[in-house]
Amino acid sequence: MTNQLISSYIPAFIFILLRVGIVIMLLPFFGSRNFPAQMKIGLSVAFALILTPLIEIKIANNELIPLMVMREIILGIAFGFTARFVFFAIEMSGQIISNAMGLSIAQSFNPEIGQSTEMSQLFGFIAMLIFLSIDAHHDLIYVFVKSYELLPGGEISLSGLIPSVVSIVKVMFIIALKLSAPVVMTMVVSHIMLGFVYKAAPQINIFFVAYPIYIFVGFIVLLIGLPMILTVTNGYLGSITEEVTKLLNSLRG
């Protein structure tokens, strides 16, 4: 009896650990590079141990185990990507703003530094604080546990995956453009005005005059628009669980 219980428990534990491990590695905050790898492994094993007695994993004799494993991997990656798409969008908006303000010009002087990502890191840090303050991580954990009710082990339909991913990517670019639009438009106006100045006084070295102006004006716009950025970010972070639920429903057979 004990051997039969162990033989049924271990495969279920492995399948649950597979989905849990992938999702933990990709979730916001838990999947951060600053989060210790030992903690990630410990959380994955702990969640799997807790969920294994509560979730029934049925493996038919004619079911291909590699196929079930592949489905679990795809589901975990899709879940994690959907949970992080707002963070990708926010960091993308920070990179767009850095390029528009000229903060990435350091690459021209020292290519070893690479592109400047200071604004991306700042926006990502702000988004993470908002994410934790609204308890969105608890909501994601709840949705993940519910995913075993919607999609038992290995029972997913991949026909709805591509439309869902395309929709999420579209929303991701929309968020990035919304957050970066004020600074980008201000930079366009600044470029036009400095173009008139250069035409009026060609002897001015417009390259070295323009970049301090771009940085100054960009930070002023960011300071003025910070309440709007926080409000928009809060709204999109609060909708992550809704997007993840939509994904899970689209993968149901």
Per-residue pLDDT reduced to its tens digit, 10-47 = 777 888 888 888 888 888 877 777 778 888 888 888 88
Q: Which of 232, 231, 220 minimizes the C-alpha distance to 190?
A: 220
- What integer pLDDT is reported at residue 58 of this predicted model? 64
DSSP 103: G
Query: What is the pTM (predicted TM-score) of this model?
Result: 0.80
| 114: containing domain | 2-250
What gap in Å lies between CA 105 and CA 213, rounded to an integer?
A: 14
- What integer pLDDT is reported at residue 98 of this predicted model? 84
Q: Is 165 exposed, middle or buried (0-12, 13-18, 19+ CB in 10 A)?
A: middle
Record the tokens describing residue 175, joined without a space.
Answer: 């968020």
Q: What torsion do the CA atoms of 81, 83, 88, 91 make, to the nearest 10 degrees?
A: -150
3-state secondary structure string across 18-74: HHHHHHHHHCCCCCCCCCCHHHHHHHHHHHHHHHCCCCCCCCCCCCCHHHHHHHHHH
What percent of the chain has pLDDT above 70?
86
Mean of pLDDT over the chain: 80
C-alpha torsion sign, points 228, 229, 230, 236: positive
Per-residue pLDDT reduced to its tens digit, 153-212 = 667 777 778 888 888 888 889 989 889 889 999 988 988 888 888 788 777 777 777 888
Per-residue pLDDT reduced to its tens digit, 82-121 = 888 888 888 888 888 888 887 766 554 444 444 446 788 8
For helices 240-250 and 161-200, the axis angle rounded to 10 degrees is: 140
Record the tokens describing residue 205, joined without a space.
Answer: 């070295």
What gap in Å lies between CA 220 and CA 180, rounded to an integer?
A: 14
Q: Which helix (H) or strand (E) holds 247?
A: helix 240-250
- What integer pLDDT is reported at residue 116 of this predicted model? 46
Question: Into how many domains does the chain fold?
Answer: 1
Taking a C-beta distance cutoff of 8 angstroms, is the pair 68, 59 a contact? yes
What gap in Å lies between CA 28 and CA 149, rounded to an integer?
A: 23
Record the tokens describing residue 20, joined without a space.
Answer: 């849990």
Q: CB atoms < 10 A from the CB of 248, how many?
A: 22
